[in-house]
Chains A and B, each alone.
Chain A
Amino acid sequence: MLKATLLHKTGPQIVQEIHACIGCNECLLVCPALAEPLTIDILNRETVGGHISPAVARFARSCTQCGACVAPCPVGLHRDAMMMWLKLRLWRSAQEN
């Protein structure tokens, strides 16, 4: 039986989760979409705002929302929701052009 699906999180919720991140890297270590080394502080910083570096953009686009990153988080954060927010930022940046 399929479980009920969780929808996206809002911007303030994402900021709250990023502030709660302890930077243990567990989410990145279990990610099957991440193909190149990336530091969690850069990812967190670029998720909240500012310019998005090519490596982070490649990672955000490659994220498949599999949710593998959620279970290992020791503080119960939703990295998949944060990645969704990054995807939205990239999506909206294309519409700004």
Chain B
Amino acid sequence: MLTSDTTRSSSPTALDKEKRGERGYPRFFFYPTGAWAFGFITTLLIIGGGGAFYVWYNRPGADTFPGSRVGLIYAVIATVFFVLAAVGFSLRRRSRKRAMGQLNASLNWHIFLAIMALAFAFFHALGHFAAISGTYALIGLLALSLSGMVGRVLDRVLPRMITAEMDAVLTAQGDDRGETLSQELQAIVTQHSLAVPSPQLLANQHAPVAPTGEALNVPWDLAYISLEPTQQELDRDAPHYRFIPDRKSALSRIDVLMPPAEKPMAEMRKMQQAMRREQRYRRLLRLWRTAHITLAIVAVGLIIYHLIYVGVLFLPGLMH
């Protein structure tokens, strides 16, 4: 189990920490449980035992062929560990009998068993790494284990990075900062439109005067303007008239046309970048899981190929 909270709360700083609650999200953290420690020590002992025997066995005159009796024992142990690592966690995940924390323990064993399988596969090679089926299976296993290790790091690092991006996207109250900014921008645009005199007002300023001295409400030349849509208006939606915005032009940016909008627009751009980064990190997390499963299938395929290959090659000799 984890370091008990009772021992932690005995010191005054721990008491104070408990009162104000846990704080912070450190870059590096490690919470070893009792089950994890047991698994770790067991793994060390098993690999240590296998390694010690390997060193003792690799003396001059010994049969250091992967197909030797010792080599085969190593191969069987490696296969058992690999099968347990692959099947154990998958079955536990699908199991209907569940207990809290059990899946975490199962995940830890998944990792430990994979490491043990890799170590015993190395021992099984007994220093022979020629380009044959066994080496390919070993490379497959190595790639799978490495992807698992990379994945464990990504699982720690990426959620923290997503949190940092979320901090930029949400307000202190947890509302969408984009919405707040767009409201702010809307207010600026409305204010700006009020500051610019309307075309009606401008027209009235130059309104013609009637011979009686009264100002005419409508400019005299309006009488000659047809209310029917013009040809240009009709062609507005035609493809050759379609407006193609020049994204590189400064005029396409609202903050250039409206200086007060500069700050909220900059914030909006920052927020959009943060959202894009968040999406990228989430995709990476998902991609890793897909890659790990794909590598597992490839490794299983290579191991089966190796087993068939050596079976065909050596089984008749062993039978006699």
Q: CB within 8 Å of B: which residues of A?
A: 2-3, 5-8, 10-12, 14, 25, 28-38, 50-58, 61-66, 68, 84-85, 87-88, 90-97
Residues from chain A with a CB closer than 8 A to the CB of B167 are: 88, 91-92, 95
| C-alpha gap A38/B101 in the complex (Å) | 9
CB–CB A65/B162 < 8 A? yes
* Chain A residues within an 8 Å CB radius of B176: 10
Q: Is the CB of B155 within 8 A of A90?
A: no
Question: Which among A12, A37, A85 is the interface contact of B101 at CB below 8 angstroms?
Answer: A37
Contact flags B166-182 to A (C-beta < 8 A → 1, else 0): 11011011111000000
Q: Output the nearest chain A residue to B286 by Cβ-Cβ distance.
A: A2
> Is the pair A29, B5 in contact by a Cβ cutoff of 8 Å?
no
Whether B23 is near chain A, meaning CB under 8 Å from some CB there, is yes
Asked if residues A28 and B100 are in contact (CB atoms below 8 Å), the reply is: yes
Tell me whether B289 is interfacial, beta carbon within 8 Å: yes
A12 to B93, CA, bound (A): 32
Which B residues are in CB contact (< 8 Å) with A2?
Answer: 283, 286-287, 290
Check if B247 is an interface residue, CB within 8 A of chain A: no
Given contacts A54-B5, A58-B2, A97-B23, contact A33 B104 (CB under 8 A): yes
Contact present for B20 and A51 (CB under 8 Å): yes
Contact in complex: B107, A32 (CB < 8 Å): yes
Q: A2-B290, A36-B101 are in contact. List 20 more A-B contacts (CB 8 A).
A: A2-B283, A8-B170, A8-B278, A11-B173, A11-B174, A28-B100, A29-B103, A35-B2, A35-B101, A36-B33, A51-B22, A52-B21, A54-B18, A64-B285, A66-B285, A88-B163, A90-B22, A91-B163, A93-B21, A93-B24
Say whether B25 contacts A38, CB under 8 Å: no
Contacts of A14 in B (CB 8 A): 174
Q: Name B's interface SS.
A: helix
Chain A residues closer than 8 Å to B17, beta-carbon distance: 54
B282 engages A65 (CB within 8 Å): yes
30 contacts between A and B (CB under 8 A): A6-B282, A7-B279, A11-B170, A11-B173, A11-B174, A14-B174, A29-B100, A32-B103, A32-B104, A34-B104, A36-B101, A38-B100, A51-B21, A53-B21, A54-B8, A54-B17, A54-B18, A58-B2, A64-B285, A65-B158, A65-B282, A66-B155, A84-B166, A87-B166, A88-B167, A91-B163, A91-B167, A92-B167, A93-B21, A94-B25
Determine whether B210 belongs to the interface, using a CB cutoff of 8 Å to chain A. no
> Does any Cβ of A come within 8 Å of B293's Cβ?
no
Q: Which B residues lie at the A interface, using CB under 8 A? A: 1-2, 5, 8, 17-26, 29, 31, 33, 35-36, 93, 98-101, 103-107, 155-156, 158-160, 162-164, 166-167, 169-170, 172-176, 275, 278-279, 282-283, 285-287, 289-290
Main secondary structure of the interface of A (DSSP, over half): loop
Beta-carbon contact of A5 and B98 below 8 Å: no
Chain B residues, CB < 8 A from A55: 5
Whether A87 and B163, one on each chain, are in contact in the complex, defined by CB atoms closer than 8 angstroms, is yes
Asked if B2 and A94 sit within 8 Å, CB to CB, the answer is: no
Contact B100–A34 (Cβ < 8 Å): yes
Question: Do A30 and B22 touch across chains, with their CB atoms under 8 A apart?
Answer: no
Set of chain A residues within 8 Å of B275, measured between Cβ atoms: 7
A60: shortest Cβ distance to chain B, in Å? 8
Minimum CB distance partner of A33 in chain B: B104
